[in-house]
Structure 1
C-alpha cells in the first residue's frame, strides 16, 4: 500500500508506457443505466417508506434506499461480495449511482462501507422488514410486466416453482450436508414467471429441508400477491411443479384456493398398473419418427383425500423394445386442457430451468452470513434470506434492462453478454461549470444510443 508507479513497459512491446494518471475514470459506466431502470420502478423508495429503521436518526449518514441501491447495483454489475465495496469507494460513477443527493454533492460523499451494508442485511432480516423486501421483488416483476405493451402482456402466466441448492462454506447456521449435491448447502425455493423470465419469489430453507417443505403455505401466498399486483391484466395464474412438490399437502393447499396447477408425479406400482393396458405396441411397422400417446386417468395417492386427474404419457423410443411412461397430475379442466395440451404446457418447464441457470451463472448467488458473535441460527437464516432476495432483485433489474435491449436490437441477449458489452464501459468524468460530464469509451458506440433511446419505455409503476 502507498507505492507509486512511474512507468512500466510490457515485454511484448517496449513502445508501450503504462502510468497511473489519477484521473477520475471508471469501467462501470453502465451502473448509471441500472440506476435509471431501478429509479423508474420506484422500488427502492417504496421499500424505504415501509422499512423499519432502528437507527438513531441523528446519526444516520446513509439512507436505507442508498444502501439498497449499493447492494443491488453492485451485484447486478458483477461485484458479488460485500468486501468489493471498498474497491469501489472512490469510483465517481458508483458515488453518483448510489447516492440520494443531486448536483455535485455525491462526488464529495463517502459511499456506504462494507460494515454498513452488512448491518443493513441484519436490519432487512428482521420480522418487520423481510416481507417488505419480498414485496419489493414482487413489485419489480409487476413493474416489468406493466412496462410491456398491452399486446405483449400474456393473459395467462405460469409460475414455476423449483429448488436452487446454494453451496455454503463453513458451518453457517441452518446449512446441512446434502448427499445429492455432495456439498453443504441451503435449499431455497425460487419462483419465476415462465413467459417473461421474471423472478418473483425466494424462500430460504435449511439445507436438510424436504423438497416440498413450506411449499403449501408459500405458493398460495405468492399466487395471491401476484394476482393482486397484476389486477385484471392476468386471467389465470398456473403453477407448474416438479415431482418433488406434488405431495398431498401442497396440492391440497392449491385445490382449496382454486389455484390451477400441473406437475410431474413420481412413478409407483399402482400408477404402473394403471398404465399397463396402454403400454401395448399397435400393429404394423413402427414409423421412422418415434411416437407418443397421452391418456387421461384418475388416481388417488395415499396422501390424497380424493382422486385427481392424471395424464399418462407413453413414449416410443427407437433404442428400446419397451415403452417409456411418465405421469402428470393436474386440476386443469379437460375441456380447455386435453392431455396433449397439458403435456405441451409441462414441457415448457425447460424455460424455468434456463432462467435458474442464468441466475446462478450471472449473479453467482452465494450466502455468506456467518454465526458471528452471539448470532442464533434464526438470525443467520434471516440475514441470508434478505441476502437471497436482494440477489433476486439484482437479477430483476438486469433482466428488465436486458429485455429492453432485446426489443431494441431484435436479438437475444444473455445477462452476462449484457453486462460485458453494454454495462462494463469505460468513462472519464470531468466537472465543469457545476456540470458532471461522462465521456464514454468507444465500446459504448454500438449499443448505448439504442439503449438510451428505449429507456423511456420503462414507465414508472403507479
Structure 2
C-alpha cells in the first residue's frame, strides 16, 4: 500500500497509460494497462519477481486494493490479472514505440525523486550531475534468445548496461545486449541519447552533465561520440607499453626512506591511442605502498578542463564510482534480477530480446519506487536503511483486514506503529511532476 502511494504521487503510471499504444479492443478490455503495470511493478518491488507469482497472490485482498483502478469495495470483487494477461502485457510493451515509453517512465520516476527529495541527496540547479555507466552481466537459466555462454562471467548471460547517478542512487537507464557483446558495444549511441533525455527532463544544459566510465568503455568510438556532443567524461584506461613508457619518468621512488603511510601523486599527460583521432588528456596516478618495492600506476582519460579539474580533482571524482557499484549490487540482491522470457512458439530472437528489455526496465522501475520510499524513510529516521531492511521490517507487516458498513479497515501489527504514521504522510507530501 505504501508503494502504491508512492506510484500514485509520482504520476508515472498515469503518464505511461496516456502514452502507451494499446492494441486491444476497448470493448473487451477487463484489466487496464495501469492496473497491470501496477501489478508487475509492485510485485517485483516486494520480491515477487516471477509472473507466475500473480496466481499465488490472486486472492489477497490487499493486493487487489493496491493494484486496482477502482475505489470503495469494487476492487475486492474484481479478479486480478492472470499470468497469461501479464505475459501479453510484456509483449505489448516490447513494441518499439511502447518500449521507449517504458524507458521514459523510469526517467520520470528518477526526476520526480530529484525534485521531491532534494534534501536527501542534494542536487542544486548548478551542481553537475554525474552519470555512471557500467556493465551488469545477468545470468540466465535456459536458452533465452540472445543469451550466450560468457567465459569471463563463467555462465550463460545477457550483457546489460546500467546507467545510474552514483551520488543519489537513482537508476535512470538499462540496455539489454547479447551475452557476447563487447563492453562498449552500443555505448556510443546509447549514452548520448540518455544524456539528451536527462537534459530535457531536468532542464539542464549539456555542460551540467559528466559521464563516468569503466576501462571497457574508453574505446575510440565511445569517446568520439561523447566529444561530438560536447559531453564531459572521465574513465579508466587499460595500461599498455606506450602508456607505461610515458609514465616511466614518474615511476621513480623519491629520495629518502619509505614513509609509514602510503603516498600518491597525480600527473597530467597527453596520449593518443591507436583508435583515437586526436590526442587526449590522460591523468597518471602513481601510488607508493609501504610493503611494495616499486610504485604502482594507473591511468584516467578525460576531457574535463585542466583549469577547473586539476589531476587530484579528477581522481577524487573517479573514486566516487564505487557508490554506483554498491547501488548495482543492492539492485541485484534486493530484486533478484533475472530475465526469463524464452523463444517459445513463433517468437524470434529479436522478440525475446525486446521482451527481456521490458523485464529489465520494469525491474529498474520497481527498484526506483522502492528507493524513493527509502529516501522518505531515511529523512524521518535520521539514518540509513537498506532496501532489504525496508522491505522486511516496514513494508511486510502483519495486518488484520475487515470490511464493515462499506468501509475497508486495515489494522496494522505493532511492528508498523513505529514508522507507518510518519512514512505515509511523508509520501503524500511529495510534489508530483507536472504532465
TM-score between the two structures when normalised by the length of structure 2: 0.97
Task: Say if 2:265 and 2:286, in contact at 8 Å, map to a contact too.
Answer: yes
> What do the CA deviations read for 1:388-431 (whole angstroms, capped 9, x no partner)?
00000000000000011001101110000000011001111111
| Equivalence for 2:50 | 81
| Equivalence for 1:270 | 242
> What do the CA deviations read for 1:357-415 (whole angstroms, capped 9, x no partner)?
00000011100001110110000000000000000000000000001100110111000
**Cα offset, 1:234, TM superposition:** 9.1
> What do the CA deviations read for 1:173-216 (whole angstroms, capped 9, x no partner)?
00000001110000010000011100000000000000000000
Task: Say if 1:156 and 1:234, in contact at 8 Å, map to a contact too.
Answer: no
CA 1:44–1:85: 2 relative to 1, 3 Å: same
The equivalences for 1:13-412 within 5 A come to 32-149=1-118, 152-154=122-124, 155-232=127-204, 236-412=208-384
> What do the CA deviations read for 1:18-72 (whole angstroms, capped 9, x no partner)?
xxxxxxxxxxxxxx10000011111111011111111111111001111000000
Task: Say if 2:138 and 2:338, in contact at 8 Å, map to a contact too.
Answer: yes
Unaligned ranges ≥5, structure 2: none
User: Take 2:292 and 2:333, find their aligned partners in 1: how far apart are those partners?
Assistant: 36
**Cα offset, 1:227, TM superposition:** 1.1
TM-score between the two structures when normalised by the length of structure 1: 0.92
Q: 2:397 aligns with which of 425, 443, 450?
A: 425
Q: Give the SS at the match of 2:177.
A: coil
**Cα offset, 1:152, TM superposition:** 2.7
**Cα offset, 1:454, TM superposition:** 1.5
Task: Say if 2:207 and 2:232, in contact at 8 Å, map to a contact too.
Answer: no
User: Take 1:362 and 1:443, find their aligned partners in 2: how far apart are those partners?
Assistant: 21
User: Take 1:388 and 1:379, find their aligned partners in 2: how far apart are those partners?
Assistant: 14
CA 1:406–1:461: 2 relative to 1, 3 Å: same
Task: Say if 1:130 and 1:386, in contact at 8 Å, map to a contact too.
Answer: yes
Task: Say if 2:5 and 2:428, in contact at 8 Å, map to a contact too.
Answer: no
Runs of 4+ deviating beyond 4 Å = 232-235
User: Take 1:307 and 1:404, find their aligned partners in 2: how far apart are those partners?
Assistant: 46
User: Take 2:317 and 2:77, find their aligned partners in 1: how far apart are those partners?
Assistant: 54
Task: Say if 1:159 and 1:194, in contact at 8 Å, map to a contact too.
Answer: yes
| Equivalence for 1:445 | 417
Q: Give the SS at the match of 2:173.
A: strand
User: Take 2:180 and 2:26, find their aligned partners in 1: how far apart are those partners?
Assistant: 41
Q: Give the SS at the match of 2:130.
A: strand
Give the alignment's Cα RMSD to 1 decimal.
1.2
Task: Say if 2:335 and 2:367, in contact at 8 Å, map to a contact too.
Answer: yes
Task: Say if 1:165 and 1:187, in contact at 8 Å, map to a contact too.
Answer: yes
**Cα offset, 1:78, TM superposition:** 0.7
Task: Say if 1:191 and 1:200, in contact at 8 Å, map to a contact too.
Answer: yes
CA 1:338–1:457: 2 relative to 1, 3 Å: farther
The count of residues paired between Structure 1 and Structure 2 equals 431
User: Take 2:417 and 2:142, find their aligned partners in 1: how far apart are those partners?
Assistant: 45
Unaligned ranges ≥5, structure 1: 1-31
User: Take 1:332 and 1:281, find their aligned partners in 2: how far apart are those partners?
Assistant: 29
Q: Give the SS at the match of 1:152.
A: coil
CA 1:338–1:211: 2 relative to 1, 3 Å: same
User: Take 1:328 and 1:410, find their aligned partners in 2: how far apart are those partners?
Assistant: 37
**Cα offset, 1:330, TM superposition:** 0.3
